[in-house]
Structure formats: structure tokens, C-alpha cells
Structure 1
Amino acid sequence: MIGGKKTEPQRKVEERGKIKEKREAKEEEEEKEGEKEEGEEERRKVEDQGPLLSQEEVDSLLRSLRGGEIKIEAKAEEERPKDRYPRYDFRKVGRFISKMRLPSLEVIHRRFATDSRSILSVALQKLIDVSMVDTSVIEFKDFMDNVPLPAVFTVISMKPLRGFCVWAFDATVAVVMVDILLGGVGKPKKAEGREFTRIEQRLIRRVINTMLKPYQEAWEPVIKLHPEIVRIESHPQFVSIVPESDLVVSTRYTIDMGMISGRMYMAIPYAILEPIKSQIQSAYQPTTLEVDKSWIERIVTRIKECPASIRVEIGKAKLTLRELLNLKAGDTLRLNTSPDEDCAIVFVQDVPKFKGIPGRSSDVKSVLITKLIKEEEEMREEILKKLIV
């Protein structure tokens, strides 16, 4: 613009803008007229068809509703609570091991729980109680959902079976185990929001390794397993041993450590148990003498390995309280036994079991056992003493 006058290019731009506005306004008017014509055409079609129901038909329907001849059904989808009950597919359950065969697996898992008590108590130098809660057949996805996080997942091979099982521990239980192994008293600590260090994972691996032996022994009547730890994980997404829809035998345990108790979860895929289903069914029959013999041999072996405390009593002496208070180094006590007889009594777990003669063997004080004490004879002697007195 020069001196208040518009230049030629500016006038052309304004003219084009006005032309564009007029075109758009015209298109809007044509569109409205088209919609109006369509609406009138639809109305004419409806009028040509006539009413859907005559007035008599409408009155008849109203009378039927009032008289109860026609009942209005409520919408089932609206009344039914959504996702109140989970859907259960019965076709997936019991493909080759039914519910009636699970007791055999329960025996294996209960035996593992019993044997794990002593193993963990020795490893942690603390009284630990392990008990089985239940065994069920569920999908692997449901098993993983049932394990509360944070948790420690251990993938274990089941050689010679082809496959893996999963052991999962509450993170609090794992933290307390590590604390005890490092010299702590086992106080419960928070495990949320942190990863286990390499040292902690190594200590946890050591504890789980000790539990593999009783697990192997529990399976011995069925198959000689050689379980080995494959890896330890903290994230459930890295523990996909089978597809989520596959069935697993899920077993829950309670681990009581005094100040704290937690859960252990175990999952064995059905697929790896299929080759040994006949052994599982026949392994724990109460009528089989073979199983009873092996069980007795195991008990005897375990009992023989149990430690026992032994003490020796050479004799007894009676003192008054005055004499007891006046005792000093160098005094001699007169016992009620003679050095020529079997004066030494050997007690096993505070129960008299042997008689012997005290002496020395290789410059070490020792007792030569001469005979076995029978409980009946001891009881008879005590009764005679009481009668004489």
C-alpha cells in the first residue's frame, strides 16, 4: 500500500478471498438443501408404508401387559455380575493323571517336607519347621499368579526326566535365610524394592542345594532323580518353563523360622510326569512289601546317623550340706562302689545301657564295657532296694 492506496497484487488477493468465501457459503447452502430433501423423502416413504401398529393393536398390547399375560424379561447380561466366577475348562484337567492319583504325589511331597526340616535346621543352625499345605492341579499361569511378589524363583532340572520344575520362595524367607547364614539372628526385613546381590544369590543357592538331597530321596521309590539348579530369578517373566495354558502339579509349603514364617511354592509340569505315570500310581501301594522294606531300611539308616550323648557314672556319694560347703581341693570322696567290680554305668541319652570298668586306653580315660543293662533287671533291682529299705 502506497499513500493509502492498495497495490495491484493486494487487490487481487482480496478478490480471491472474497470469491473463496462466496464459493464455501454456496456449498454449505447446497449441502443443507440436500439434507432437507433426504429427510423429506424418508418421511414420505414412512407415510406411504403406513403405521407399523394400528391403534387397536397398541391398545391390545397395553391390556395384555396390565393383565400379566405378557411378561417382560430382564436383560440377563445386565443382571449377571461380570467376572464374578472364573471360567473353568474341565476338558483340560486329568489328561493322564486324575485327582484319584494325586495322593501318590502328596506322599512324595510330604516326605520331602519332613526330610527338609532336619536338613534346613542343620544348614541354618536353627530350628526350622517345613510342612506341606496342599497339592492341586492348575494351569501354569494360575500358579505364577498365586505366588506373591517379590519372590525368589529357582528353575530346577529333573534329570533323567525331560523338563524343569520351579521352586518359589517368599522374598522375606530368602532374606531371613541369608541373614542367618551371615551371622544374624534371623529378624524379618523388608525385601521390596531391591534386587538380590550376587553374594545373596550364592547363599540362597547353597540353601536350596541342601534341599535337593531330601527331594531326590523322596522320589527314590518312583525314579532316581538327579535334580540340579539351572538358574535363580527374581522376575517371573524369566521363569517360563512351559506355556501358560499347560497344567502343572502345584504344591504349597509353609516354612516356619521362629520369628517369621513364609511360603514355598513348587510346580511340576504334567508333561514331564507322563512317562512315569505308571510308576507314580504303583509306587506307594500299602500292600506292597517291597516299599515297606525300603522304607524300613531308610528309617534304620537315618536312625543310625543320629548323634547320641553318652556319659559315664563311676559312683555316688552322700554328703551333708556342711560337708559340701567345706569341700576344697585335695579332699577325697568315698564312693559307694568298689574298683574291683563293674562300677561304671554308661548312660545313653540319660538312659543306663551298659556296665563297665574305668581305666585308660592310649593315655585317654576310657571305660571297658562288660555287659548290657537290661531294663527289666534294673527295675527289679530298684524294687528290691525299695523293699529292703
Structure 2
Amino acid sequence: MAEVLSQNEIDALLAAMSSGGIQAKPVEEEQKRVKVYDFKRALRFSKDQIRSLFRIHESFSRLLTTFLSAQLRTSVHVHVASVDQLPYEEFMRSIPEMTILASFEGSTLNGRMLLEMNPQITFAMLNRYFGGTVALNYVERKTGLTEIETVVLERIFTRFLHVFHDAWKDLIEIDPMLLELETNPQFMQIVPPNETVIVVSFSVRIGESTGIMNLCLPYIALEPIIPKLTAHQWMSQQRKTDSSEDVALLKGSVKRIDLPLIVELGRASITIEEFLCLEAGDIIQLNQPIDASLNVRIGPNVKFLGRPGTKKGHIAVRIEKVLDEGVEDNE
């Protein structure tokens, strides 16, 4: 508690100040902190919403890495470099004059969105698709894409949008659809120049080729789902994802994988001379008794035993036994 001065002490203090015995300290004026605000660059997304967008597109980058690695059969790495909000005009000035732009729209979102890819990685992908290597030095071209390159890129970007849908599906069903490809940014005005957009920049490495891929999401497109881009909403949406649904999705994906199935009627060993002398009507005796079960192979491994027969006029095999893991052959 502060000490209360008596009247005598107050009079003595004032007298000392008048005679110069005590130097009064000047009152420091509070410095006003002025923050510059650019009305042309309005910040419409909070930091929390930016973090949610970052997490969504981190998932997109991981899915895209897996997809491209399988398609190109080479080392591919995609990761989120930054998530920024800026005017559309500023974004268009930041990209090269010669680049690859794909516009698309979502069924549940308003307006168009853009996916921009640096030619360095675009032509590395095309070269790999056409059977070449990704270790090439990109030379800037004055002309646009050929008809074949356009068709292939449309297929690639369409698959990209499928991956984009998978990254967003826990929050909203987007169902994106590719609209057009363009190489000149001046012909791709999807929103007014001063409209705020979210630009998600990805660093992409395909083999030895590296480049930047940008995803441009206008405010008008994201406006219907902005309330969902909060940490609380994001975490609650993540908790809604049931592990059983993930298992079912994984099983569905595995079931669509093609595997070779081979039914062995038996084996026989002959010499090259006997093989060269084979004629129509010759009989090759197999090592398999006529009443024995046949080996049914999945890939190189024997997984089932079965009996040959017919069904509705077609050659068929009836599975009689499922073999344990590790059984390689039925002698």
C-alpha cells in the first residue's frame, strides 16, 4: 500500500522543488504505435483459418506425392512451401509469362480456381510420360503446347483434381472439374484484380527437376466454408472420421487391384530337340494325376487348390481349399 504524505511533508517537497533541490522528471509521452493498413490488400482470413488451409494442403501434398511417384515411376516429393493471402493482381505478377495454368471449379463452391505449374516440372512430367527421363534442362519455349501435350496435361490435371477432392472431403465435398488450360496468364482473369485470394505454394521435385506449383483459391470461392476453417471445427471434423470407414475405403482400393490368377494343369520336362519336333496331335504327359487337385496361383505363389470344370459353357475352376500363408507349391 502506498504511503500517504502529511501536509507538512507535501509543503517541504514543493519548497524543495521550487528551490531546485529536486529535479522533476518530465512526463514521457506515450508513443503511439501506428500500423500501416493497405486497403488494396485486405486481410479477410484469420491466422487460425490460414493454419487450417495449411493442414488441408499438407494432406494434398502427401497424396500428390504418392500419386506422382506411382505414375512417373521415379522419385517425387511435394510439400507446402507457404500459404498467403494477397490480391489476385499481385499473384498474377508473381508467376512467369510462360507457365501452365489450369482453371477449375467445384460443385459446392462459387467461382473458378487456378492451379499454376512451373514449366520446369510440367515438361519433366511430360517427358517422363512419353518414356524419357526427368533429368532434362528445360529451354524456354516461345510457342504454346502442342495438341498431344495438351491432351496429356488435361488428363494429368484431372487426376490432380481427384487428389484435391480427397484432401478436402473430410471438410466438404468439392467435386472439382477441369475447365481449361492456358499458357498466358493475361488470358486467365478469374476475379477482379483487387480481389483477395489464398495462394498455396508447393515445392515440387521430380527426379532432378525442381519447381513451384501454386494453387489460387479466391475469397469468393471459399466464402461459403470460411466458418468451417477454424481449429475447433477442423478438430471436430477430424473426430467424425471413423476408423472403420478408413478400413472400408482401404479394402475397396485393394479390391480394385488387378492380380494374375493362373491354374496349373500340370508340368512336364522335355528336351529342346523334342520341343522342336512337336507336331499337331502329339501328346505331352504331365506330372499331375487326373484326379488330383490343381494348383491355383496368385502371382508366383500357390494360394488355392481347385478342380477343373465348366460353368455355363465356360471353362472354370472350383476352389476346394485355401492354403496357409507361406505355401509356395503343391507337390
TM norm structure 1:
0.58
Deviations 1:283-328, CA, capped at 9 Å, x for gaps: 56597253434333322221111111222334456x6xxx645543
Hey, what's the Cα distance between the residues in 2 that align with 1:169 and 1:200? 14
Cα gap change, 1:147/1:293 in structure 2, threshold over 3 Å: closer, same or farther?
A: farther
2:238 corresponds to 1:292: no
C-alpha contact 1:115 1:214 (8 A) present in aligned 2: no
Hey, what's the Cα distance between the residues in 1 that align with 2:215 and 2:244? 29
Hey, what's the Cα distance between the residues in 1 that align with 2:54 and 2:126? 34
Q: Indicate the structure (1 or 2) with the bigger Cα radius of gyration.
A: 1
2:184 is matched by which residue type in structure 1?
A: H
Q: Tell me which residue corresponds to 1:132.
A: 78
2:287 corresponds to 1:341: no
C-alpha contact 1:357 1:367 (8 A) present in aligned 2: yes
Q: Tell me which residue corresponds to 1:305.
A: 256
Q: CA RMSD in A?
A: 4.1
Q: Tell me which residue corresponds to 2:101.
A: 153
Q: CA deviation at 1:374?
A: 2.0
2:322 is matched by which residue type in structure 1?
A: L
Q: CA deviation at 1:251?
A: 3.2
Structure 1 counterpart of 2:46, from 77, 95, 98: 95
Hey, what's the Cα distance between the residues in 2 that align with 1:180 and 1:131? 15
- List aligned pairs for 1:256-267, cutoff 5 A: 256=206, 262-267=211-216
Q: CA deviation at 1:133?
A: 1.6
Hey, what's the Cα distance between the residues in 2 that align with 1:289 and 1:352? 41
Deviations 1:44-85, CA, capped at 9 Å, x for gaps: xxxxxxxxxxxxxxxxxxxxxxxxxxxxxxxxxxxxxxxxxx
How many pairs are equivalent? 282
Deviations 1:171-209, CA, capped at 9 Å, x for gaps: 24444666677x664775634222335664454334323
SS of equivalent residue, structure 2 residue 241: helix
C-alpha contact 1:128 1:255 (8 A) present in aligned 2: no
- List aligned pairs for 1:67-78, cutoff 5 A: none
C-alpha contact 2:53 2:229 (8 A) present in aligned 1: no
Structure 2 counterpart of 1:169, from 91, 95, 117: 117
Q: Tell me which residue corresponds to 1:223.
A: 172
Q: Tell me which residue corresponds to 2:22.
A: none
TM norm structure 2:
0.66
C-alpha contact 2:310 2:316 (8 A) present in aligned 1: yes
1:216 is matched by which residue type in structure 2?
A: H
Hey, what's the Cα distance between the residues in 1 that align with 2:265 and 2:211? 49
Hey, what's the Cα distance between the residues in 1 that align with 2:132 and 2:91? 32
Hey, what's the Cα distance between the residues in 2 that align with 1:214 and 1:105? 12
Hey, what's the Cα distance between the residues in 2 that align with 1:307 and 1:88? 58
Q: CA deviation at 1:244?
A: 5.2
Hey, what's the Cα distance between the residues in 1 that align with 2:241 and 2:177? 28
- List aligned pairs for 1:53-132, cutoff 5 A: 92=43, 94-95=45-46, 97-110=48-61, 112-114=63-65, 116-117=67-68, 121=71, 126-127=72-73, 131-132=77-78
Hey, what's the Cα distance between the residues in 2 that align with 1:88 and 1:108? 33
C-alpha contact 1:152 1:169 (8 A) present in aligned 2: yes
Cα gap change, 1:299/1:171 in structure 2, threshold over 3 Å: closer, same or farther?
A: same
Hey, what's the Cα distance between the residues in 1 that align with 2:111 and 2:62? 22
Hey, what's the Cα distance between the residues in 1 that align with 2:46 and 2:208? 43
SS of equivalent residue, structure 2 residue 222: helix
Hey, what's the Cα distance between the residues in 2 that align with 1:370 and 1:151? 59
The answer for unaligned runs of 5 or more in structure 1 is: 1-86
Hey, what's the Cα distance between the residues in 2 that align with 1:225 and 1:255? 27
Q: CA deviation at 1:250?
A: 0.9
Q: CA deviation at 1:267?
A: 2.0
Structure 1 counterpart of 2:145, from 178, 196, 207: 196
C-alpha contact 1:254 1:262 (8 A) present in aligned 2: yes
Q: Tell me which residue corresponds to 1:269.
A: 218
Higher normalized contact order (CA 8 Å, seq sep 6+, divided by chain length): 2
Q: Which has the higher helix share?
A: 1
SS of equivalent residue, structure 1 residue 375: coil
Hey, what's the Cα distance between the residues in 1 that align with 2:90 and 2:76? 24
